[in-house]
Amino acid sequence: MKFGFIGTGSMGSNLVQAFVQSYAMQPDHIIVSNRTRDKAERLALDCPGIHVADHNLETARKADCIFLCVKPGDFRHVLDEIQDVVRPDQYVISITSPVMIRDLEEHLEGKIAKVIPSICHAALSGNSLLIPGTRFSDEDTQWLYQLFSCISEPLYIDEAHTRAASDLASCGPAFLANILEQWTRAAVKVTGLPEETAVSLVEQMVIGTGKLLSENGFTLQSLQDRVAVPGGITREGLHLLNDAFTPCFTRLFQLTHMKFSEDLHKVQQSFQRAEKKL
């Protein structure tokens, strides 16, 4: 099977590298195209053997499975380009949450699915969020699951939950890194701990915590229970964090959902403009 990637930015490249690293895809079965060819060429240097196409049409024509890895605002342009060549037997996988499956199915004849990936796949871990479209048979769905289990823990989700699930699985690494960074800054500012020491302590702590969760049977709750000895220091800290973070995370979800609605609206408008032109 030949795999095509349209868009080789942060996530398109991440997926290609993860699929090659996991041996799920052979480099010479991968064809990529990007608006600026240089970026695709750089990816080809990292993954020798992949083919850089001259344009998206070539990628769409030659691949059995086409990944659409562009941002919401670039979708209409890409769909306009490839819609005449996409065949009903081809898989088309979009990794963009505010582009709805029904809109993709209206524009393309292929078997459409939405899969929201995560930077964690670079470490062959994290959840990929799978939303097979209406043209996916049980067999197709099984194939999709198998493919993504090579680089991640696939999880089926309802399209209506895309944003919330993606906030946790896909934005999560950036959110967590931000929290940890702010924590180290506070350690330096409030206590005078050298920055290098604070950063190293936090990094090792988070790696260890991940291992406890993944390999040692801990849950988020049992971790807190084991560390917070009765009457101890951690319990005091947990009270403060509960008070501070609950409103912050509520606001975070409201904010990401607002941005999602805006993007969704813009994408829908761009599709309507395209239909009027026809």
Note the residues at the interface with ligand A1CAB (CB under 6 A).
166, 170-171
CB distance 118 to 169 below 8 Å: yes
Q: Shortest approach of ligand A1CAB to residue 10 CB, angstroms?
A: 8
Q: Which is nearer to ligand NAI, 152 or 198 (CB)?
A: 152
Token pair belonging to 94: 């979009």
Binding mask 170-209 for ligand NAI (x = CB under 6 A): x---------------------------------------
Rounded Cα distance between 71 and 207, Å, is: 31
What DSSP string describes 110-129? SEEEEEE--GGGGGT-SEEE
Q: Nearer Cβ to ligand A1CAB, position 164 or 212?
A: 164
Whether residue 256 contacts residue 116, with contact meaning beta carbons closer than 8 Å, is answered with no
Helices (H), 54-194: 56-62, 75-82, 101-107, 138-149, 162-169, 172-186
Using the rule CB under 6 A, is 119 a contact of ligand NAI? Answer: yes
Shortest distance in whole angstroms from residue 57 CB to ligand A1CAB: 26
CB of 192 to ligand A1CAB, least distance (A): 35
Q: What angle do CA 127, 228, 248 make, to 5 degrees?
A: 55
Spatial strand order of the sheet with 51-52 comes to 51-52, 30-33, 3-6, 65-68, 91-94, 111-116, 127-132, 153-156
Q: Which of 32, 63, 72, 270 binds ligand NAI (CB under 6 A)?
A: 72
CA distances from 218 to 172, 173, 239 (A): 20, 20, 21
Pick the binder of ligand NAI from 4, 32, 33, 128 (CB under 6 A): 33
Q: With binding defined as CB under 6 A, does residue 78 bind ligand NAI? A: yes
Residue with Cβ nearer ligand A1CAB (11 or 25):
11
For ligand NAI, the closer of residues 36 and 246 by Cβ is: 36
| Interacting residue ranges for ligand NAI, rule: CB under 6 A | 6-12, 33-36, 39, 56, 69-72, 74, 77-78, 95-96, 116-119, 170
